[in-house]
């Protein structure tokens, strides 16, 4: 890496650029987590069917079909996880590290400290994110804790700690091999949720290209990124690596607690760039919600085992794991032959298409003082394809008011095409 400063001549960089063997040069970004401040009970219900029941009653699609993420592993890269929280606690199995612990832990299949930090985090961000995806209260009879279980409460987590020993967020330059391949893919994770991004890199860079290439090479792994919290900067405020084409980039709506929340984009949710010819974010979900809280010894003394407590946070960091939980449920649906009794190969492109098609239009966007406005012609760069609603894409015979056709193929040539023919016998069906 060549380091330079505007206060000094850029000769090293100029010399580097003049070399014929150099294909491209990009700036090294400074990374940050995409949450705003501390503030999924709402998200779990809203993402199912668009409604919220304050009593905590599970949505119909969850109850009738036992959708809970069982046998699905979700990889998460974040600031650390407090596994003594009741949402991850397991008194019978220690958390598995590289050379110790048990993969039978009820929630965490593996903990990987990528940069040497090896301790329970009290930062709270990673704990909140993981709770949203797959947290499940240890004592299921405690309804007050169980109310805040994650979207896919029976899924398990592969956690990658991205903090270094100074508790700074750090990413390897070689995302393809060190993060995606060696840490996640080889350890069986096929869903990867990331609530972090560059502080100010609004361009498609080497981290985006590495991400896109990995999904192309290993198309059974789906990657999600938070769009970012720079919405007040206007259009073009989505940062790397969320600009990757083959990932699901997630923006944020308000929750039902604020105005007609689920139908309004938050002021902070980063907007896409009309000049990029890609729609980003791809989808939106509630970005302010309650989930697992991280505690330190200052909070609970020497024994924090099985501690309860939730905390409210907001940001696209919170919307992204909510959608990752939905992806886990879709994966379960496909693997358990819920689609016409067929077990389908779970491909990133197929699941992304299903998530996109679950999108329902939003009404508008709000500013920081909660003045809300209807969408204009640029609505795609605020909402993507709309807010996720699971019951609009998972078909069940005798229940759904639509039919579902799933097909995936591969186009290898620039001018290659394929045709899929089918007959519609009921002209009253809506076609999407």
Strand pairing partners for 360? 387
pLDDT computed for residue 11 by the predictor:
60
- pLDDT bin (cut points 50, 70, 90) of residue 344 is confident
For range 15-20, the mean pLDDT? 67
Residues 268 and 54: beta-carbon distance below 8 Å: no
Q: pLDDT (tens digit, 9 = 90+) per residue, 120-171? A: 555 678 888 999 999 999 987 777 888 889 999 999 999 999 987 777 788 8
Q: What is the pTM of this model?
A: 0.84
Which of 125, 128, 307, 395 is an active site residue? 125
pLDDT computed for residue 3 by the predictor:
34
Catalytic, 78? Answer yes
* C-alpha triplet 384, 402, 70: angle, nearest 5°: 75
pLDDT computed for residue 217 by the predictor:
97
261 within some domain:
yes
121 within some domain:
yes
Taking 70 as the threshold, does the pLDDT of residue 95 lie above it? yes
What does residue 333 show for φ and ψ, rounded to 5 degrees?
-55, -45
- pLDDT bin (cut points 50, 70, 90) of residue 277 is confident
- pLDDT bin (cut points 50, 70, 90) of residue 210 is very high
For range 71-76, the mean pLDDT? 97
pLDDT computed for residue 401 by the predictor:
85
pLDDT computed for residue 4 by the predictor:
36
Q: What percent of the chain has pLDDT over 90?
A: 46
- Per the prediction, the chain carries an average pLDDT of 82
Q: pLDDT (tens digit, 9 = 90+) per residue, 419-428? A: 777 777 777 7
Residues 236 and 275: beta-carbon distance below 8 Å: yes
Instruction: Select the highest-mean-pLDDT range: 9-13, 72-76, 148-152, 376-380.
Output: 72-76
38 within some domain:
yes
| Lowest-confidence region among 43-47, 302-306, 351-355 | 302-306
For range 204-220, the mean pLDDT? 96
Q: Which of the pair, 194 or 343, is modelled with greater confidence?
A: 194
Strand pairing partners for 223? 192
Strand pairing partners for 78? 161
Q: pLDDT (tens digit, 9 = 90+) per residue, 20-31? A: 666 666 666 665
Spell out where 34-185 has E strands. Answer: 37-38, 73-78, 108-113, 156-161
90 within some domain:
yes
Q: pLDDT (tens digit, 9 = 90+) per residue, 379-420? A: 999 999 999 999 999 988 888 888 888 876 655 566 777 777
Distance CA 224, CA 336 (A): 23
- pLDDT bin (cut points 50, 70, 90) of residue 85 is confident
414 within some domain:
no
Question: Using the 8-state DSSP alphabet, how is residue 262 labeled?
Answer: G
pLDDT computed for residue 362 by the predictor:
95
Distance CA 111, CA 118 (A): 9
Taking 60 as the threshold, does the pLDDT of residue 117 lie above it? yes
pLDDT computed for residue 410 by the predictor:
58
pLDDT computed for residue 261 by the predictor:
73
Name the domain count of the chain: 1
Catalytic, 240? Answer no
Q: pLDDT (tens digit, 9 = 90+) per residue, 297-343? A: 445 545 677 677 667 778 898 899 999 999 999 999 999 988 888 87
Distance CA 203, CA 222 (A): 22
Identify the CATH number of the domain in which residue 297 sits: 3.40.50.200
Tokens of 285: 């979900």
Distance CA 187, CA 109 (A): 9
Residues 101 and 147: beta-carbon distance below 8 Å: no
Which of 34, 46, 78, 209 is an active site residue? 78
Taking 70 as the threshold, does the pLDDT of residue 172 lie above it? yes
- 94 burial (CB, 10 Å; 0-12 / 13-18 / 19+) is middle
Q: Which of the pair, 293 or 229, is modelled with greater confidence?
A: 229
Tokens of 94: 């220690």
Question: Using the 8-state DSSP alphabet, how is residue 175 labeled?
Answer: I
23 within some domain:
no
Helix (H, G, I), strand (E, B) or coil at 50: coil
127 within some domain:
yes
Question: Using the 8-state DSSP alphabet, how is residue 150 labeled?
Answer: -
- pLDDT bin (cut points 50, 70, 90) of residue 2 is very low
For range 360-366, the mean pLDDT? 94
Catalytic, 55? Answer no
Start-to-end C-alpha separation, the chain? 48
320 within some domain:
yes
* C-alpha triplet 302, 308, 311: angle, nearest 5°: 110
pLDDT computed for residue 160 by the predictor:
94
pLDDT computed for residue 193 by the predictor:
98
pLDDT computed for residue 31 by the predictor:
55
Q: Residue 218 sits in which domain range? A: 31-392
Question: Which DSSP string do the residues of 348-415 spell out, in sequence order?
Answer: HHHHHHHHHHT-B---EEE-TT--EEE--TTTHHHHTT-B--GGGT---TTT-SS----------STT
- Residue of 338, 384, 332 whose CA lies nearest to 362: 384
């Amino acid at each position: 890496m060549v380091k330079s400063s505007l206060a000094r001549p850029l000769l090293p960089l100029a010399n580097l650029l003049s070399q014929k063997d150099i294909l491209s040069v990009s700036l090294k970004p400074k990374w940050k987590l995409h949450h705003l401040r501390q503030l999924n009970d709402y998200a779990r219900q809203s993402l199912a069917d668009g409604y919220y029941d304050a009593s905590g009653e599970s949505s119909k699609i969850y109850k009738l079909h036992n959708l809970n993420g069982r046998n699905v592993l979700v990889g998460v890269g974040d600031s650390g996880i407090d596994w003594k929280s009741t949402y991850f606690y397991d008194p019978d199995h220690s958390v598995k590290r590289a050379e110790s612990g048990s993969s039978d832990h009820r929630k965490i299949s593996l903990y990987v400290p990528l940069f040497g930090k090896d301790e329970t985090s009290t930062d709270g961000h990673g704990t909140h994110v993981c709770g949203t995806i797959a947290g499940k209260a240890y004592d299921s009879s405690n309804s007050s804790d169980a109310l805040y279980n994650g979207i896919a409460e029976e899924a398990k987590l592969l956690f990658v700690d991205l903090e270094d020993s100074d508790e700074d967020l750090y990413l390897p330059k070689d995302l393809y091999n060190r993060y995606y391949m060696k840490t996640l893919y080889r350890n069986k994770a096929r869903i990867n949720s990331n609530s972090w991004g560059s502080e100010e890199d609004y361009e498609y860079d080497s981290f985006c290209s590495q991400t896109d290439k990995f999904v192309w090479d290993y198309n059974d792994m789906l990657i999600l990124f938070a769009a970012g919290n720079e919405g007040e900067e206007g259009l073009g405020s989505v940062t790397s690596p969320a600009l990757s084409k083959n990932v699901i980039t997630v923006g944020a709506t308000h929750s039902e607690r604020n105005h007609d929340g689920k139908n309004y984009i938050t002021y902070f949710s980063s907007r896409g760039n009309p000049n990029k010819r890609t729609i980003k974010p791809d989808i939106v979900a509630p970005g302010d919600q309650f989930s697992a809280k991280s505690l330190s010894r200052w909070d609970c003394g020497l024994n924090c085992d099985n501690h309860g407590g939730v905390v409210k946070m907001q940001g696209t960091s919170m919307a992204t794991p909510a959608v990752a939980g939905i992806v886990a449920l879709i994966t379960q649906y496909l693997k358990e032959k819920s689609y016409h009794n067929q077990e389908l190969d779970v491909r990133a492109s197929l699941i992304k298409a299903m998530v996109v098609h679950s999108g329902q239009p939003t009404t508008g966007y709000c500013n920081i003082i909660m003045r809300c406005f209807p969408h204009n012609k640029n609505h795609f760069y605020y909402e993507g394809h709309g807010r996720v609603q699971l019951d609009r894409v998972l078909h069940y015979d005798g229940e759904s008011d639509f039919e579902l056709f799933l097909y995936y193929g591969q186009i290898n040539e620039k001018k290659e095409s394929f045709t899929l023919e089918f007959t519609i016998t009921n002209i009253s069906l809506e076609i999407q």
